[in-house]
Amino acid sequence: MTHPPTYWSYLRLEELLRLQNGNELNEDSVSRDELNFIIIHQVYELWFKLAIRELKFVRVKLSQDKIHEESMPLIVHSLNRIIVILRLAEQQFELMETMTPRDFMEFRSKLGTASGFQSYQMRIMEGIMGIKKEEYLKIGNMTPIDFFEVSTSETAPNIWGTISESFTEPSILDGLEQWLFRTPIQTSTPDQSSDGKVVDEFINDYLKNYDEYQKQSRSNLYQKNSDVDNRVLTQNQKEFDAIKSFLMDSNPNQKRIKTAILFIETYRELPLLTWPRTLIDKLVELEQHFVLWRTRHARMVERILGRRTGTGGSTGVDYLDETSKYRIFKKLWFVRSLLLPSSFKPELKNPEYYEFMSNFVS
């Protein structure tokens, strides 16, 4: 006779609750603080598992040759779910901090070389999002990917295969940039012969208006102090040069992608640009919470462990602080530095093109 499922059978609770032994054969040998440590990290990995499923969904949707309007709310919904997961992950550090430094030292030796550096699900999330190997190399001579290839390719080939796949398949960043590349700028699309000229005209108009905006800002801040005024002028020129360099990319595809981000952000109130702008904003928020999680992690480790060497051989807190500098969606972040007030926006050509009745599909 087959019994109907119960709460505990559906969730496989008996199996789940037998997995908190650490290195011990008997859970009674695990202290209360060590049990706290194990459960917290297991819960992290369960949250990461859910986040990976959602990230893969986003990657598939963004990799389509055409992203239909009905897909946009679904993508944003998944990104929202991942953001909530990361917020919960940030809060879990409060539970870790109920453990004192001495409490942790009582069982730290049991970890051996085990380290959060070895969380392969974190690496998978980074790979799906689109982190580049050079970002890892800014911190040390060996990337986490190198570590996993050496340590798991023979002993745990399934783990290595899953990690490797996440870094070789097209990422969310790849899909995002392909989608942005197709965005109509002043109604022009990449398949039109005049597209390069239209993109350049928009950039030139924007830079001209940005220069006017800087001049007005300086006049509002006029100090009648030559040192202050010269310093502001120098800083403005440096800012303008950085913006011009960013937009006038020598790679025409990258120039178009960057301009598309700026165009969407500039005219975000238009009906057909509101969802694209929401998607962009959610990707920035997603990465923001990864940064906040890493920063919170570093402060928790510093509070409990101090600045000693990490169990995996890393520099500990110094290493963790460096990881908070990772940025995957760099262009989305940078464009926030060059947005203008509505009164300085370049003239939009054919605004009706971006109304709901348009047949345009990105």
**Burial zone of 103 (CB within 10 Å; 0-12 exposed, 13-18 middle, 19+ buried):** middle
Task: Enter the pTM of the model.
Answer: 0.90
Q: What is the pLDDT of residues 237-246, one digit of tens each?
A: 999 999 999 9
* Cβ atoms < 10 Å from Cβ of 357: 8
pLDDT at 315 over 80: no
Q: What is the pLDDT of residues 184-222, one digit of tens each?
A: 999 999 999 999 999 999 999 999 999 999 999 888 776
In this predicted structure, what is the pLDDT of residue 357?
62
Chain position carrying tokens 């992608």: 257
What is the CA 195 to chain-centroid distance, rounded? 30
Judged by average pLDDT, the poorest of 126-130, 147-151, 169-173, 341-345 is 147-151
What are the sequence ranges of the domains in the chain?
A: 32-106+116-354
Please give the residue that has the higher pLDDT: either 245 or 134. 245
Q: What is the pLDDT of residues 245-289, one digit of tens each?
A: 999 999 999 999 999 999 999 999 999 999 999 999 999 999 999
Q: What percent of the chain has pLDDT over 90?
A: 63
pLDDT at 358 over 80: no
Please give the residue that has the higher pLDDT: either 143 or 253. 253
pLDDT at 20 over 90: yes
The mean per-residue pLDDT over the stretch 129-144 comes to 77
Say how far apart CA 115 and CA 314 lie, in whole Å.
Answer: 9
Which residues are within 8 A (CB) of 20 and not within 5 positions of it... i.e. 6 or more apart? 27, 30, 35, 38, 39, 42
Q: Over the chain, what is the mean pLDDT? A: 90
What is the CA 342 to chain-centroid distance, rounded? 28
Say how far apart CA 353 and CA 14 lie, in whole Å.
Answer: 59
In this predicted structure, what is the pLDDT of residue 320?
86
Chain position carrying tokens 């009582």: 106
Q: Is the Cβ–Cβ distance between 72 and 283 less than 8 Å?
A: no
Judged by average pLDDT, the poorest of 81-90, 227-236, 295-304 is 227-236
pLDDT at 356 over 80: no
Label residue 360 by pLDDT band (50, 70, 90).
Answer: low
pLDDT at 164 over 90: no
pLDDT at 313 over 60: no
Please give the residue that has the higher pLDDT: either 226 or 177. 177
Q: Is the Cβ–Cβ distance between 52 and 128 less than 8 Å?
A: yes
Please provide the CATH number assigned to the domain covering 32-106+116-354.
1.20.58.480
In this predicted structure, what is the pLDDT of residue 223?
63
Burial 319-353 (b: 16+ CB within 10 A, else e): bbbbbbebbbbebbebbeebebeeebebeeeeeeb
Label residue 55 by pLDDT band (50, 70, 90).
Answer: very high
In this predicted structure, what is the pLDDT of residue 2?
79
Say how far apart CA 342 and CA 271 lie, in whole Å.
Answer: 17
